[in-house]
Amino acid sequence: MKQFDYVRPATVAEAVAAAAQPGAVYLAAGTNLLDLMKGNISRPDLLVDVTHLDGLDGIERLADGSLRIGALVSNADLAHDAEFAKAYPAVAEALLSGASAQLRNAATVGGNLLQRTRCAYFYDTASRCNKREPGSGCDARDGENRTHAVLGWSESCIATHPSDFCVPLVALDAIVEIEGKNGRREIALDELHRLPGNTPERESALEPGDLIVAVRLPPAARGFAPHARYLKVRERTSYAFAIVSAAAALRVENGKIAEARLALGGVAAKPWRARAAEEVLSGSAPTADAFQEAASCALADAKPSGDNSYKIELARRIVVRALTLAAAGTPARIPALPASPFASTSGAMHA
Amino acid sequence: MPELNLTSAPAHLRHGSSIGQPLTRRDGVLKVKGQATYAADNHPPGMLFAVMAVSSIAHGRVTSLDVAAAKRHPGVVDVMTPDHKPQLAIDPEIKTNPFVFRMEVLQSNEVRYANQPIAVVIAETLEAATEGALLLAPRYEVLPALVGLDAGESFVPPVVGVGNPAENTHGDVEAGLASADKKIEVTYETPPQYHNAMEPHAIVAAWDGDRLQIDMPTQGLMLSLARVAELFGIAPDKIHIRSPFLGGGFGSKGLMAGPPVLGIMAAKLVGKPVKLVLRREQMYGPVGHRAPTRQRLRIGTDAEGRLTALDHHARTVSSTFDDFYEPAADASHTLYVAPAIRTSHDAVRVNTGTPLFMRAPGEATGSIALESAIDEMAWACGMDPLAFRLKNYAEVEPITGKPFSSKALRACYDQGAARFGWAKRPLQPRQMRDDDGLLVGWGVGTATFPALMFQAEARAAIRRDGTGAMEIGAHDMGQGAWTALAQIAADAVGLDIDRVTFKAGTSDLPDAGIAGGSAHTATAGAAIHSAGAAVIAKLADLATNDERSPLFGAGNAGVIARDGKLIRRDDESRSESYTEILARAGVAEVEARGTGAPNPAAMEEYAMHAHGAVFAEVKVDPELGQIRVSRMVGAFAAGRIVNPHLVKSQLFGGMIWGMSFALHEEAITDRRSGRIMNANLGEYHIPVNADVPPLDVITVEEHDPHVNALGIKGVGEIGITGSAGAVANAVWHATGVRVRRFPIRIEELLAQR
């Protein structure tokens, strides 16, 4: 491996100062970064290990009803926090559908948000990739691309963002708290990840040195708890990224949908919030027709980027199913096979 | 490596026959405690680390390597390239016997496939060697890559598999099809697959003058020894290979591949011990794989559903520089009776590492296509797929007309179907749903694998202290050879298993043959059995020729060995312990050798195969197309079962692999570059625990007097056959959609709903 420096800052301010240097990257659990380094995809000069920073591993309920999740909380600890799972069941289900138990024990909240795409051409350093090497071209565009993006892609890049966790978070209007060179700021999660356009190498709104310190769920996010699901179609039952996934959350009042939230995963370079589809559902009864219409609306702008037109139809069906499951009500316990179409299969053991 | 001591576990103390007992692995505790020494666990003093640089192109030449940059990196000791390497004694391109495959050991700058080794960096640390390999920054002259089953002009290979004719004909297929009442013609495709043993290929090589110590996982100690000896021009007795444990092999560690040879060369170059371990992605190239196939089946039946013709053609690929042809169509030789059967193969050459044996080579690929097509034919006849298979049950081997040495397949069908509940299966597809509205389907597949034997030798001894020893250079790939062969050894010398020192896994022991072809237990077991009989005969000579012995005059044939005693067969009150016999004779031990080998006369007379029937239930989401296997039952008849516990594990593993074949596994090759795009265990999908349903294995009683003295047929590979087809057929039965490309993908089930 390339030799690199390693620092373990004592404070967030020290961390930000260290990571603002050229060639520096943050190291949290490293479940993605270390693979990238071993594969020579990332060649940082300096690792800024944030795992020993104080105060970033708490889950706290704020006075206004928000929930603040420290960036170093592990995916497993968050998903298994009973209060959290009760208030934000779709988020917990999404977390438990991701990766493997071992990875979830290590991976952090902040790291999950910033994980890189799983596009094989990004990982294969002999391939052209505009994200890895700006201006080199995109070998995925005419390559093996049946799992690539169908929304928001460009000729420069057809990669997807692989996170499960981000999908319900973006549906619930999560806010990202960032510490940077100029102090603390916050942005909507929906604005954190960027679509590729002509600059796929710029994946997020973060500036050099920016450190995600927390993710906040606003007070309204709790209101969806009785009707919130995450659904993920994948090619094996566990330890696989989504072909397509969806988070659906409804606020049902007097038999009508007062408010709907819908986001898709595995379809674009960012977790894809389907606002127009939400509008369609708002005020309507939770019927199959309404869900179909919402699904069509959510995928109205979709187009295949390669050998993947099936993903558009699959996404429509997943939207309908996720909405149907959400309307039926959040189950009392997270299923043994979280987010799986086989979630209800009896006798299944935890994935 | 500490001496293995597998003889004292009290849990194994028992009396009576060891064969047939469900012992747990005798090496299990070592493995659970991390004390089993695998090749890469060895660290001789002064050892350096070697890392291969591999080609990122599939075809062309390396035009430059920045050796200076690599050497400047701190810790790098040397860089082995085509211009700077120890000379081999023979050209590695020469095939000195049919089990020698061509390898890349830096003999030229030519690149013939992606991930081919092009240099080796040797350094004081793994990290330095890894970075040194990157700093080589190779430049290439790139030639167009040949990729896929249509890469070029096809040709008929001289042989397929191991010496099988590419074409086999019995009867008149065209006439059979012309006269058929119903016929189908279907084409199936299977993808390239890689062995992906959990333990990567690894070697620790240390030269001491002209002596060579090697730690390396191998399924073939003696073949490896012979190949190393000829490549380095040293006598075999100067080489010592230790391979006590393999973390899986599946065929990829059967024959000497290039990377371990590079490790030995590197050790020679730097004059120090060297360790070379392949990275996971480097296993997708130089160490073999299962070639892709495209199989066309034409099948005809008469009005009663009897086959009139079976025509099975398989297209496959080999490398541009060597020959191995997946004998997929040969799966049609043995299972279904038909007046006309033709199997044929053709191939194209592509820029790939040479394909190789991979668990059930030919049978696995051929079985999924044949079992699917047979199902299609049954459906065309309006028949239950099991009834159709029984209607076309082969009483003699169809392609040769030979009787079977034994064949309990009917019992497999019966017992499997009963356990599974097959009788309730609706004929029409897409008829069953579970309580959650998921589609449910049931499928069956017939399993088959030849009962092979290779050559082996064993050495047995009985000592004056009443203990025994059995030595054979056998291989434990995880299948349990340390246990099953020790059970055979215990019975062979008439001692409790814990009174027999069983030695295996090193090249200084008698040749156990190769652990492949599902033949290791049979072959090594036969040698052990015969060595045991020989040593008992010597002991009996001592006793029966000594008038002081209660066995005097009993004659060899009149004595049996049990519990450390020789007992007069016709009068069990007359016996004498091994200790007494040897003490009186004044010898420390008696020793004898025995061999195991195929019996040509029996092979001439009989067709020898293991059989099985696998039943699978799948659930499919009707809208989303995701598939989940929910239940599998496999009933297998494989002759004598030496250890039911280990056999069950082998069959479970095979059945899971069959499921993997149908639903998960595929190496995705970029059609332009020829590079494999999912060369890691995150993206090359195999089933995870959550995919594996309750599995039920039935071992059907079968006595085979012909295959070998012990009646063992072997279970290493049969589990994958039948299982893959059963799952594929269940998917059809659930959905009504027949997918003819594997693995079955979600999009193919979305098209129709």
CATH code at position A273: 3.30.390.50
What are the tens digits of pLDDT across the range B363-391? 999 999 999 999 999 999 999 999 999 99
Residue A350 confidence class, pLDDT cut points 50, 70, 90: low
Q: Is residue B312 part of a domain?
A: no
Residue A349 confidence class, pLDDT cut points 50, 70, 90: low
Distance from CA of B628 to the nearest CA of A (A): 8
| Confidence (pLDDT) at B558 | 83
Mean pLDDT value of segment A200-216: 98
DSSP string, B204-225: EEEEETTEEEEE---S-HHHHH
Residue B717 maps to which CATH number?
3.30.365.10
Q: Is residue A335 part of a domain?
A: no
| Confidence (pLDDT) at A89 | 98
The partner residue sitting opposite A237, judged by closest CB among B57, B436, B690, is B690
Q: Could you give the 3-state DSSP secondary structure of residue B509? A: coil
Q: B622 and B706: one domain?
A: yes
Mean pLDDT value of segment A36-56: 97
| Confidence (pLDDT) at B622 | 95
Judged against a pLDDT cut of 60, whether residue B7 lies above it is answered with: no
Provide residues of B within 8 Å CB-CB of chain A.
56-57, 74, 127, 130-131, 134, 434, 436, 438, 619, 621, 623-626, 628, 630, 663-664, 668-673, 675, 677-678, 682-683, 685, 687-691, 694, 745-747, 750-751
Judged against a pLDDT cut of 70, whether residue B582 lies above it is answered with: yes
CB pair distance less than 8 Å for B690 and A127: no
- b/e for B709-741, b at 16 or more Cβ within 10 A? ebbbbbbbbbbbbbbbbbbbbbbbbbbbbbbbe
Q: B502 and B400: one domain?
A: no
For residue B265, what is the enclosing H or E element?
A: helix B258-270
What are the tens digits of pLDDT across the range A169-188? 999 999 999 999 999 999 99
Distance from CA of A308 to the nearest CA of B (A): 9
% of chain A residues with pLDDT over 90: 96
Mean pLDDT value of segment B114-140: 98
Q: B53 and B124: one domain?
A: yes
| Confidence (pLDDT) at B17 | 85
Contacts of residue A238 in chain B, CB cutoff 8 Å?
A: 688-691
Q: B373 and B467: one domain?
A: no
Q: Is residue A246 part of a domain?
A: yes
- Residue B288 CA to residue B293 CA, distance in Å, equals 15
Non-local CB neighbours of A262 within 8 Å, separated by 6+ positions: A171, A246, A247, A248, A249, A273, A274, A277, A278, A281, A294, A298, A319, A322, A323
Q: Which of A270, A212, A262 is nearest to A68 (CA)?
A: A212
Q: Which residue has the higher pLDDT, B107 or A3?
A: B107
Distance from CA of B691 to the nearest CA of A (A): 5
Mean pLDDT value of segment B342-360: 98
Number of folded domains in chain A? Answer: 2
CB pair distance less than 8 Å for A310 and B671: no
Secondary structure of B673-685 in HEC code, one letter for each residue: CCCECCCCCCCCC
Residue A39 maps to which CATH number?
3.30.43.10
Q: Is residue A247 part of a domain?
A: yes
Judged against a pLDDT cut of 60, whether residue B578 lies above it is answered with: yes
Q: Is residue A11 part of a domain?
A: yes
CB pair distance less than 8 Å for A3 and B131: yes
Q: How far is the CA of B591 from the CAs of A238, B3, B419, B474, B526, in angstroms?
A: 54, 22, 48, 19, 17
Q: B590 and B608: one domain?
A: no
CB pair distance less than 8 Å for A235 and B678: no
Distance from CA of B672 to the nearest CA of A (A): 8
Q: Is residue B334 part of a domain?
A: no
Q: B720 and B587: one domain?
A: no
Q: Which candidate in A1, A38, A41 is best for mutational testing of the B interface (most B CBs within 10 A)?
A: A1
Task: Give the end of a domain, one of B230, B256, B283.
Answer: B283
Q: What's the number of CA atoms in the CB half-sphere (13 Å) around residue B121?
A: 31
Judged against a pLDDT cut of 50, whether residue B6 lies above it is answered with: no
| Confidence (pLDDT) at A351 | 56
Q: Is residue A286 part of a domain?
A: yes
Q: Is residue B156 part of a domain?
A: no
Sheet holding B76-80, edge to edge: B76-80, B117-123, B48-54, B274-277, B202-208, B211-215, B239-242
The partner residue sitting opposite A310, judged by closest CB among B623, B663, B747, is B747
Contacts of residue B670 in chain A, CB cutoff 8 Å?
A: 127, 139, 143-144
Residues paired with residue A237 on neighbouring β-strands, in sequence order? none
Q: Is residue B170 part of a domain?
A: no
Pick left, alpha or beta for residue A70 (phi over 0 → left; psi -120 to 50 → alpha; otherwise beta). Answer: beta
Q: Is residue A195 part of a domain?
A: no
CB pair distance less than 8 Å for B746 and A314: yes
Q: How many contacts (CB atoms, under 8 Å) link A and B? A: 113
Domain that holds residue A22: 5-52
Distance from CA of B59 to the nearest CA of A (A): 14
Q: Is residue B341 part of a domain?
A: no
Q: Which candidate in B623, B680, B695, B742 is best for mutational testing of the A interface (most A CBs within 10 A)?
A: B623
Q: Which candidate in B626, B671, B750 is best for mutational testing of the A interface (most A CBs within 10 A)?
A: B626
Q: B442 and B482: one domain?
A: no
Q: Which candidate in B630, B675, B735, B750 is best for mutational testing of the A interface (most A CBs within 10 A)?
A: B675
Distance from CA of B128 to the nearest CA of A (A): 6
Q: Is residue A45 part of a domain?
A: yes
Provide residues of A within 8 Å CB-CB of chain B.
1-3, 40, 100, 118, 120-121, 124-127, 139, 142-144, 146, 233-240, 243, 310, 313-314, 317-318, 320-321, 337, 340-342, 344-345, 347-351
Q: B390 and B461: one domain?
A: no
Mean pLDDT value of segment A313-325: 98
Q: B643 and B664: one domain?
A: yes
The partner residue sitting opposite A318, judged by closest CB among B624, B669, B685, is B624
Judged against a pLDDT cut of 90, whether residue B13 lies above it is answered with: no
CB pair distance less than 8 Å for A144 and B56: no
Phi, psi of A179 (to 5 degrees): -105, 125
CB pair distance less than 8 Å for B621 and A341: yes
The partner residue sitting opposite A124, judged by closest CB among B130, B625, B677, is B677
| Confidence (pLDDT) at B554 | 87
Contacts of residue B669 in chain A, CB cutoff 8 Å?
A: 144
Distance from CA of A233 to the nearest CA of B (A): 7
Mean pLDDT value of segment B605-614: 98
Amino acid identity of B422? W
DSSP string, A200-224: TT--BSPPTT-EEEEEEE-GGGGGG
Mean pLDDT value of segment B566-595: 96
Non-local CB neighbours of A8 within 8 Å, separated by 6+ positions: A49, A52
Q: Which of B752, B675, B692, B691 is nearest to B58 (CA)?
A: B675
DSSP string, A98-125: SS-HHHHHH-BHHHHHTPPP--HHHH-T
| Confidence (pLDDT) at A38 | 94
Residue A144 corresponds to which tokens in the numbers above?
Answer: 């093996």
| Closest A-chain CA to B685 | A236
Evaluate whether A324 touches B663 at the Cβ level (below 8 Å): no
| Confidence (pLDDT) at B26 | 95
Domain that holds residue B611: 359-452+604-750
Number of folded domains in chain B? Answer: 3
| Confidence (pLDDT) at B555 | 75
Q: B393 and B526: one domain?
A: no
Residue B384 corresponds to which tokens in the numbers above?
Answer: 């239950």
Judged against a pLDDT cut of 70, whether residue A312 lies above it is answered with: yes
Residue B12 confidence class, pLDDT cut points 50, 70, 90: very low
Q: Which residue has the tokens 């099809």?
A: B177
Q: B617 and B744: one domain?
A: yes
| Closest A-chain CA to B668 | A144
Q: Which of B363, B332, B326, B331 is nearest to B348 (CA)?
A: B326
What are the tens digits of pLDDT across the range A129-149? 999 999 999 999 999 999 999
What are the tens digits of pLDDT across the range B217-255? 999 999 999 999 999 999 999 999 999 999 999 999 999
Burial classification of residue B46, based on how many CB atoms lie within 10 Å of its CB (0-12 exposed, 13-18 middle, 19 or more buried): exposed
What are the tens digits of pLDDT across the range B69-105? 999 999 999 999 999 999 999 999 999 998 899 999 9
What are the tens digits of pLDDT across the range B618-636? 999 999 999 999 999 999 9
Residues paired with residue B119 on neighbouring β-strands, in sequence order? B53
Q: B413 and B551: one domain?
A: no
Distance from CA of A116 to the nearest CA of B (A): 14
C-alpha angle B191-B290-B524 in degrees, rounded to nearest 5? 150
- Residue A152 CA to residue A197 CA, distance in Å, equals 8
Q: Which candidate in A41, A245, A340, A345 is best for mutational testing of the B interface (most B CBs within 10 A)?
A: A345
Sign, CA torsion B407/B410/B412/B415: negative
- Residue B394 CA to residue B308 CA, distance in Å, equals 13
What are the tens digits of pLDDT across the range B695-727? 999 999 999 999 999 999 999 999 999 999 999
Q: Is residue A258 part of a domain?
A: yes
Phi, psi of B598 (to 5 degrees): -65, 155
CB pair distance less than 8 Å for B670 and A143: yes
Task: Give the end of a domain, one of B258, B283, B308.
Answer: B283
